[in-house]
């Protein structure tokens, strides 16, 4: 079962999140039939986005992360709410690349150069939008840079996805550590030393570490206190009704030409790849509603 934990340490001077996301990344991989490098890129993004999601307060708050680079994956999009639901997709799920210089899946090469945008719909008039340049395209560094620069909360982010030989997901997860306002200099120094000395998130996941164990390794010396545990899963809220609304929104002229073709129309949800078929009569009915 996938879940995230929320924690604090150093008497509230550090806040932390950690997640295990193997199941949901596997759901995403199977839905989109992603290549290994695309699975890693999407899985890291889904994990980071899910953790950003639970930082929001409101039941109806929604957060979207868009990674737009010039690499062959043609961008990554993920959306999460504050309740542990996340969904996402990549532009080109079949992208194949050689391993990078470290022998790892070349996520940075797949993403390329560009920017990361975070859009938060917090039920206010205007959504909040923050945008930063991609640092490496390896995703974790880009989340770190976004949180530190755009949200101005100094952060450390680790995200990892490990694959089985047959390219299914073996492990996925990550963490976010954040320094709260008023943090003491000695806490910052001690944490920096700690981070420099611990294994990468990939090795921790490889060793089978749970989110609790990951935070214990990172913050065990800082009086780690786990506050709550939140189940996390890949959930898409698409439906035929929503697809019908999308069809009606393309405009009357467009819809008229589709109806004039006399064929049925298949629509696919970007986020979960579910297919919805609209028969010719259903399309004609939508056109009647739009024209009324
Ligand atoms: Zn969907």
Segments in 6-139 forming alpha helices (H):
22-32, 36-53, 107-111
Averaged pLDDT for residues 28-49: 98
Cα 41 to ligand 1 centroid, rounded to whole Å: 19
Cα 107 to ligand 1 centroid, rounded to whole Å: 25
Q: Please report the pLDDT score of residue 102 as a whole number.
A: 87
Cα 197 to ligand 1 centroid, rounded to whole Å: 41
Cα 2 to ligand 1 centroid, rounded to whole Å: 20
Q: Please report the pLDDT score of residue 240 as a whole number.
A: 95
Segments in 56-210 forming alpha helices (H):
107-111, 140-145, 185-197, 201-206
Cα 66 to ligand 1 centroid, rounded to whole Å: 17
Cα 242 to ligand 1 centroid, rounded to whole Å: 10
Cα 193 to ligand 1 centroid, rounded to whole Å: 43
DSSP conformation letters of 226-288: EEEEEE-EE-----HHHHHHHHHHT-HHHHHHHHHHT--EEEE-TTT--EEEE-HHHHHHHHH
Q: What whole-number percentage of the chain has pLDDT above 90?
A: 89
Cα 46 to ligand 1 centroid, rounded to whole Å: 15
pLDDT confidence tier of residue 291, bands split at 50, 70 and 90: confident
Q: Please report the pLDDT score of residue 106 as a whole number.
A: 95
Cα 53 to ligand 1 centroid, rounded to whole Å: 18
Q: What angle do helix axes 211-219 and 185-197 make, rounded to 10 degrees?
A: 120
Assess whether pLDDT exceeds 90 at residue 285: yes
pLDDT tens-digit map of 57-115 = 888 999 999 999 999 999 999 999 999 999 999 999 999 999 988 888 999 999 999 99
pTM of the entire predicted model: 0.95
pLDDT tens-digit map of 143-202 = 999 999 999 999 999 999 999 999 999 999 999 999 999 999 999 999 999 999 888 999
């Amino acid at each position: 079962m996938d879940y995230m934990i929320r924690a604090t340490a150093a008497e509230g001077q550090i806040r932390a999140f950690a997640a295990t996301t193997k199941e949901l990344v596997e759901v995403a991989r199977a839905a989109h039939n992603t290549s290994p490098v695309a699975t890693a890129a999407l899985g890291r993004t889904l994990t980071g986005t899910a953790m950003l999601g639970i930082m929001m307060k409101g039941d109806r708050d929604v957060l979207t992360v868009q990674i737009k680079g010039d690499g062959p994956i043609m961008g990554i999009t993920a959306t999460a709410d504050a309740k542990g639901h996340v969904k996402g997709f990549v532009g080109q799920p079949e992208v194949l690349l050689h391993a990078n210089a470290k022998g790892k899946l070349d996520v940075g090469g797949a993403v390329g150069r560009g920017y990361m945008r975070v859009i938060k719909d917090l039920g206010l008039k205007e959504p909040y939008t923050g945008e930063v340049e991609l640092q490496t395209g390896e995703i974790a560094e880009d989340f770190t840079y976004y949180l530190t620069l755009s949200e101005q909360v100094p952060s450390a982010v680790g995200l990892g996805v490990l694959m089985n030989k047959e390219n299914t997901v073996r492990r996925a997860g990550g963490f976010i550590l954040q320094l709260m306002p008023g943090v003491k200099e000695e806490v910052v120094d001690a944490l920096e030393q700690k981070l420099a000395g611990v294994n990468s998130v990939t090795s921790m996941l490889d060793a089978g570490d749970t989110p609790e164990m990951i935070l214990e390794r990172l913050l065990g010396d800082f009086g780690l206190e786990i506050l709550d545990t939140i189940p996390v899963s890949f959930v898409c809220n698409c439906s035929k009704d929503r697809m019908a609304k999308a069809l009606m929104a393309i405009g009357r002229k467009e819809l008229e030409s589709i109806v004039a073709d006399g064929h049925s129309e298949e629509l696919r949800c970007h986020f979960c790849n579910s297919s919805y078929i609209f028969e010719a009569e259903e399309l004609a009915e939508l056109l009647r509603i739009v024209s009324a």
